[in-house]
Structures are given as C-alpha cells and as structure tokens.
C-alpha cells in the first residue's frame, strides 16, 4: 500500500509517517517509480507506536517494541528490551503517583485550614455581594451615584 492508504488505515497523517521514517521507526521501501510502499507489518508497527504513545510513552521509548516486531516476534513486548522499557515506565508512573499524592495531601490540608478559619463555618461567603447590583459595569465595578 502507499503512504496515503497506510496513514488512513493507521489513523494518522502522511507527515507523521515521514517523520517516523526519518527517525528509523518505519522502513523506507520504495517502488521503481520512487513511491513509498508499505505492508500489513508496517501497519502493526504503527499501531504499536500509537498505542504506546497513547499510554504516555515518548516516541524513542517505542523503538524496542518496533525492533521486537521487526525481528519477527508476534508482539512488540515479547523481547527483553521492551520489558525493560515497561519497567522504567512503571517506575516513572509510580513516582508521579507518589508526587501527586503528596500534592493532594498538601492541598487537602490547606483546604481544611482555610475552612476552619472562616468566621461562619466551612461554607465560603461572598463579601462582595452587597456592593454589586444589576447596574454593574463589568470593567469598573458597581454603578455609583454622585
């Protein structure tokens, strides 16, 4: 198949495919007339790359999976190098989750502190409500007489 058909079937653009080719992730086979040509194996490579990127993998992190497929394995994660990338990604995600939990705990503590300091209980009160009326100019504030 040609580049346009592959892009359509993979749900991407020809520009993306050319970029993958320039990075060595997609083979660059050409016909005698100079047209790029692809097959079902190339579609599998693209599906592997896109799935991993959907999971948050950087493009370069997909290389071991692509190499594994190119080596003839039935799945891109059937090689030790792919497993190593999975392990690094899981460790990275675990670190991010720990950071998010710490930030969440800090924000939760700040919320409890702020609510406890409110003079009339935990429900926030709007102190501006009495100053604003129906003739309020959004840029200058409430209309004033005199």
* Its pTM surpasses 0.75: no
83's CB contacts (< 8 A; 6+ apart) are: 77
Q: Are 80 and 46 in contact (CB under 8 A)?
A: no
pLDDT digits (tens, 9 = 90+) for 64-105: 999 999 999 999 999 999 999 999 999 999 999 999 999 999
- Separation between Cα atoms, residue 90 and residue 24, nearest integer Å: 26
Q: Are 39 and 1 in contact (CB under 8 A)?
A: yes
- Separation between Cα atoms, residue 9 and residue 104, nearest integer Å: 41
């Amino acid at each position: 198949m040609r580049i346009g058909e592959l892009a359509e079937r993979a749900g991407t653009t020809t520009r993306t495919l050319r970029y993958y080719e320039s990075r060595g992730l997609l083979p660059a086979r050409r016909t005698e007339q100079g047209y790029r040509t692809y097959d079902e194996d190339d579609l599998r490579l693209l599906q592997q790359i896109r799935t991993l990127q959907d999971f948050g993998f950087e493009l370069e992190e997909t290389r071991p999976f692509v190499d594994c497929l190119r080596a003839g394995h039935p799945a891109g994660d059937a090689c030790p190098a792919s497993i190593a990338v999975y392990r690094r990604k899981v460790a990275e995600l675990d670190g991010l989750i720990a950071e998010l939990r710490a930030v969440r705990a800090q924000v939760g503590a700040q919320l409890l502190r702020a609510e406890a300091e409110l003079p009339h209980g935990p429900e926030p009160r709007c102190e501006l409500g009495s100053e604003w009326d129906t003739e309020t100019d959004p840029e200058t504030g409430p209309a004033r007489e005199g």
